[in-house]
Amino acid sequence: MSSKQKYIDHCIGRKDIPLFHRPYWLDLISPSRDWDAVVHTNAKGKIVGLLPYVKNKKYGLSYSVMPMLTPYLGPIIIFPPEPFTKIQKKTSYVYDIMEGLIRQLPSVAYFSQNFRPELSEWYPFYKRGFRQTSRNTFILRKKSKEDIWNNFSSDVKNKINKSSKLISLHTSFDVDSIFSIHEAGFGQSGISVPFSKSFLEELLFLVQQKNIGESIVALNKNQEQIAHQLVIRDASYSYNLLLSSLPESRNSGVVQLLLWHSIQKSIDLGLDYNFEGTMLPNVEPVFRRFGGEFVPYHKISKDKNKILRILRILSGR
C-alpha cells in the first residue's frame, strides 16, 4: 500500500485531522489532484506521524509549495494516550517522528510549508538544511462574547454598531456574484484574484457538501451585494479564509460587521477564531483592532542548491 493510501485510510472518520490536511481538501487545492504524503510508524507498525505535500512541476523542475487558500500544512504528530511525564521525553518523541518523516520526503528543487501555529518544534528540519521564517496571525481564544467585545477597539465597535443598522447579512453560494465581489476587492489593491471562478465553485460546493463553514454576503439598504466572507471550520478553529468588499464600501463598516458575525458563530461552536491574512500590510491593522492574540508560526523551506535559491530570491518567491 502506498504512503498516500495509508494517509487517506488513517484520516477516514477522524475529526482530529486539521481541515487543511484532510484528503478532500488536498484534492481540491492540488493541481490535477497531484499530492502525496509520507507516513512514519513506530516499532509496532502504528502510524505516529503524517506529512502531506502538494506536487508541482515547472520548467522541468519538481517542487512543493503551499497551495492557494491553504495557510497551513506541515507534520501531524500523533501522541500516545498517556501523557509524557517529562518534557525532554516529549521533545525526543516529536524529534524522532519528524526525522522519520523528513527522510521520506522527495528530492525536489524547492520545498516550502507553513506549520500550524501550535506546532513549535522545527529543529529536526534545521538539521536537515531547512530554513525557518517566522510568520504571524491573530487568534481569538474561546471566551464569552462580552469579554471579546470589550477587547475590541472603540473604532471597531463604532463601525459594527453603525453598519448593523444599514447592512444585512445572508447566506449565499452564488458563484458569479461572489466572484465579482472578490474580483473588485482584489482589483482595488492592484492584484488579480488568486483563484479562478471554477475553483471558487468547487470550493463553495465542498463547503456545502462537507458542512465545514458558511458563505455570507452583505447587502446594503438597496439590497446590493457589497461584501463576502467565507469562513471554514475544523474541530479546533474557525478560519477567516476569504473576505472582500467592494471598493466603495470599504468605509461602511461591512468588513467589521462580517468579522463580528463569524466570531460570534465561532464562540457558539466553542472554537478559536483564526483571522488569517495578517502578514498583509493593509489587512493587519484591521485584524489587530479586534484584540486577538498575536501568534507566530513557522515557514520551513529548502532549496536544492544555491543557484536555485538566488533565482527564487530574485523572483520574490
Least confident span in 188-197, 198-207, 225-234: 188-197
3-state secondary structure of 210: helix
The boundaries of every CATH 3.40.630.30 domain in the chain are 3-135+297-315, 142-291
Residue 63 burial (10 A CB sphere; 0-12, 13-18, 19+): buried
Tens-digit pLDDT profile for residues 64-100: 999 999 999 999 999 998 988 999 999 999 999 999 9
Q: Which homologous superfamily does the CATH classification assign to the domain defined by 142-291?
A: Gcn5-related N-acetyltransferase (GNAT) (3.40.630.30)
Query: What is the dihedral angle through the alpha carbons of 71, 257, 143, 69, rounded to the nearest 10 degrees?
Result: -10
The residues, ordered by sequence, that sit 6+ positions from 166 with a Cβ below 8 Å of its Cβ are 220, 221, 252
Tens-digit pLDDT profile for residues 142-162: 999 999 999 999 999 999 999
Pull the grid cell for residue 291. 484584540
The top-level CATH class assigned to 3-135+297-315 is alpha beta
How far is the CA of 33 from the CAs of 29, 108, 196, 288, in angstroms? 7, 18, 16, 36
Residue 153 to residue 132: CA distance in whole angstroms: 33
Give the strand pairing for 47-54 and 35-41. antiparallel
- Average model confidence (pLDDT) across the chain: 93
* Of 166, 269, 306, 303, residue with least CA distance to 224: 166
Residue 62 to residue 80: CA distance in whole angstroms: 35
- In this predicted structure, the answer to whether residue 23 has a pLDDT above a threshold of 60 is yes
**For position 315, what pLDDT does the model report?**
47
Tens-digit pLDDT profile for residues 25-73: 999 999 788 999 999 999 999 999 999 999 998 888 899 999 999 999 9
Residue 216 to residue 204: CA distance in whole angstroms: 11
* Burial letters 248-282, b for 16+ CB under 10 A, else e: ebeebbbbbbbbbbbbebbbeeebbbbbbbbeeee
